[in-house]
Amino acid sequence: MNTMSYKGYTAKIEFDPDDNIFFGNIIGIRDTVGFHGESVTELKKAFGEAVDFYLESCAKAGREPNKPCSGKFLVRLDPELHSRIVAEALKSGKSINKWVADILAGSLHPRQV
């Protein structure tokens, strides 16, 4: 999946060969925010404008914009795996949260914009 990020929001990018345009939608929020462009340059500009317009519209309406992510998520694990994670975190001198965050961050591809 191709993505772009701006001001903490991420959009999924696709290409429509029939209309010969790139189009995108912000993912991870309840509201629907879309944009398009005929070139990568136009697409990037339209994405920034869409996010800015969304944030301005929310401010004018007096409501909080949807946040892409809260920074928290719950993961259910097999108890044995949970115990192994606790042990590895302790061995590394890190909290479970820090250890898991470091492992997850290390498994991601470098950020692309």
CB 96 within 8 A of CB 89: yes
Contact at 8 Å (CB) between 99 and 105? no
pLDDT by residue, tens only, the chain of 113 residues: 799 999 989 999 999 999 999 999 999 898 999 999 999 999 999 999 999 999 999 999 999 999 877 778 889 999 999 999 999 999 999 999 999 999 999 998 776 44
Assessment of whether the complete model's pTM goes beyond 0.85: no
Contact 67, 75 (CB under 8 A): no
**pLDDT single digits (tens) 42-57:** 999 999 999 999 999 9
Q: Where are the alpha helices (DSSP H) in 1-113?
A: 40-61, 79-92, 96-107
The two tokens of residue 49 are: 């404008």
Q: Which residue has the tokens 């999924």?
A: 12
